[in-house]
Structure 1
Amino acid sequence: MKREKSTYDLGDYEVSVELIVNDESRLHDYGIRRSAWLRGVRMMRRYGPELALELLDERAEKCYNSKNIAMCYRLRDLMVAIHAMTEDEIQPNDRVH
């Protein structure tokens, strides 16, 4: 099993991205590519989570209206990643004591 971990400090938030190869338990990546998670971290660092979500929503809406559906999906994936990183939702593989 190979582990690779990156930690990012976002002011009020500390985000850890951990990549585990050949692990039988599945991390909750929500089907989003690693690059989207890292772009989400960069956007939160630059704008903060709330403003980043607002900006991405505006951009995604413009893409949808101009029929650029592929870009709309990519922007929505970024929104999912940011939302997942900022919410305290217990996942099935989390260890709770």
Structure 2
Amino acid sequence: MKREKSTYDLGDYELSVELVINDESRLHDYGIRRSAWFRGIRMMRRYGPDLALELLDERANRCYERKDIPMCYRLRDLMVAIHAMTEDEVQPNDRVH
């Protein structure tokens, strides 16, 4: 595990940023493969987040109907990645002040 800490003086405030690099940690990736995150970005750029989610939902439903469960899971993972990138939700390890 590698830690990097930077401190910035902002007048009345002091900002401290600590970066923890740990190859075994999967804190914010939701267990989704790296390639799914990049595919999600490409889809959002092409269609926008709302239309991308709608199209993926339709595709996932069609995959489920034809019993292609592995592809259905991959499409749902893309949906999770897009949703995570577009929503501002507090994570369990985030500090909120």
TM-score range, shorter chain: 0.7 to 0.9
Question: Where do 4+ consecutive residues of structure 1 move more than 4 Å?
Answer: 23-26
Deviations 1:55-92 (A, max 9, x none): 00000000000111110000000000001111110112
Indicate the structure (1 or 2) with the bigger Cα radius of gyration. 2
Aligned-pair identity in percent equals 82
Give me the CA root mean square deviation.
Answer: 2.4
| Structure 2 gap ranges (5+) | 4-19
Deviations 1:9-60 (A, max 9, x none): xxxxxxxxxxx75268642111100110110011001100000000000000
How high is the TM-score relative to the length of structure 2? 0.72
Residue aligning to 1:80: 80
Larger RCO of the pair (alpha carbons < 8 Å, separation 6+) = 1
Task: Kindly tell me the number of residue pairs found equivalent between the two proteins.
Answer: 81
| Structure 1 gap ranges (5+) | 3-19
Q: Secondary structure at the match of 1:79?
A: helix
How high is the TM-score relative to the length of structure 1? 0.72
